[in-house]
Amino acid sequence: MKEEIAKIKENSIQEITNCKGEKELSELKVKYLGKKGELTVVLRGMGNLAPEERPVIGSLVNQVRDELEKLVQEKEKEFKAKELENKLKTENIDVTEPSKKVNLGSLHPITQIVEEVEEIFLGMGYQIADGPEVEKAIYNFDKLNTPPDHPARDLQDTFYITEDIVLRSQTSPVQARVMENQKPPIKIICPGAVYRSDSVDATHSPVFHQIEGLVVDKNIAMTDLKGTLEMFAKKCLGENTKIRFRPHHFPFTEPSAEADVSCFVCGGKGCRVCKGEGWIELLGCGMVHPNVLKNCGIDPEEYSGFAFGFGVERIAMAKFGIEDMRLLFENDVRFLKQF
């Protein structure tokens, strides 16, 4: 069998060395190294050998296989080098010819704000949560302490699919779903599209985007909320940004507040962006109402939390100096390419 292996080695080296093209090389590779190749046939016949001969023949076959594989690789490189050389000789490129114009796009202003806010809160240890846009009324209203007679549930404010299914009017239902299925501590933000029955004008749209945040844990206080929002405002709108709270009312938080930020354009002196007031209304916030915690299966005697929410379009309009919300939805490339 050693003589047979030596003959295979001699013949294969000669044929591979003298082959003239990649197709012929491929055929030789199959002939000698393939599953039905000559070396494989030798290995399959080792069962007929004496036990002491098998390792010797096996080692010899593997040695020949390694040599042939190396020779095939070198030959392949040789053919590819020749092919490249021929191409360089026959194919001419006119480097003075103008290239094709490439129009580069950019992220939409709304997408830019969403990604920036996500990056800020991910850096603060939050997770991103998502939920359905077509939502059950129990999650959109009931679990959030919004009773059936609340004005927010009127037909003129909410899009109803059926009596019990709505297009979500805020991303708060995501908070309710998370609280139902996850034990505290909870730290999430919920970005997404929301729907309200508003007429289209410079500051309103029936479809817009919100980002809401929720923290539930032991000993959470209003100071935690303010510190979080101050850090967010500084990261998003500039290090010199200040924040203030004004008392407000939301069914799902108690106490509740509206949060304003100092105008990042004029620094609080008064300008066109802040309409001369020095402050820009940013978001609504407050401590999670005990009823909301109860509705979602969390003991308000043991846990507390805070929540906040703001419109992405409002941030984009303030940050980029956009005066009409409709510009964000018209898909006019002349407008969008500025960002």
Buried/exposed code over 122-156 (b: 16+ C-beta within 10 A; e: otherwise): eeeebeebebeeebbbebbbebbbbeeeeebbeee
Segment (H or E) for 194? strand 186-195
Position 139 scores a pLDDT of 95
Query: Which tens digit of pLDDT belongs to each residue from 48-99?
Result: 777 777 777 778 878 888 888 888 899 889 888 888 888 878 877 777 878 8
Contact 206, 197 (CB under 8 A): yes
Q: What percent of the chain has pLDDT over 70?
A: 99
CA dist., res. 191 & res. 170, Å (int): 10
Task: Given CATH 3.30.930.10, say whether it is the number of domain 109-336.
Answer: yes
For residue 42, what are the CA distances in angstroms to 6, 28, 139? Answer: 12, 17, 72
- Give me the chain's average pLDDT, please: 88
Read off the pTM: 0.66
Position 244 scores a pLDDT of 92
Query: Which tens digit of pLDDT belongs to each residue from 223-249?
Result: 999 999 999 989 988 888 889 999 999
* Position 161, amino acid: I
Position 241 scores a pLDDT of 85
Q: Is the model more confident about 203 or about 283?
A: 283
What's the average model confidence in pLDDT over 189-203?
A: 90
CA dist., res. 59 & res. 213, Å (int): 67
Neighbour count for residue 54 (Cβ, 10 Å): 14
Question: Helices 312-320 and 222-237: crossing angle, nearest 10°?
Answer: 40
CA dist., res. 301 & res. 317, Å (int): 41
Neighbour count for residue 199 (Cβ, 10 Å): 7
Query: Which tens digit of pLDDT belongs to each residue from 150-183?
Result: 887 887 789 999 989 999 999 999 999 999 999 9
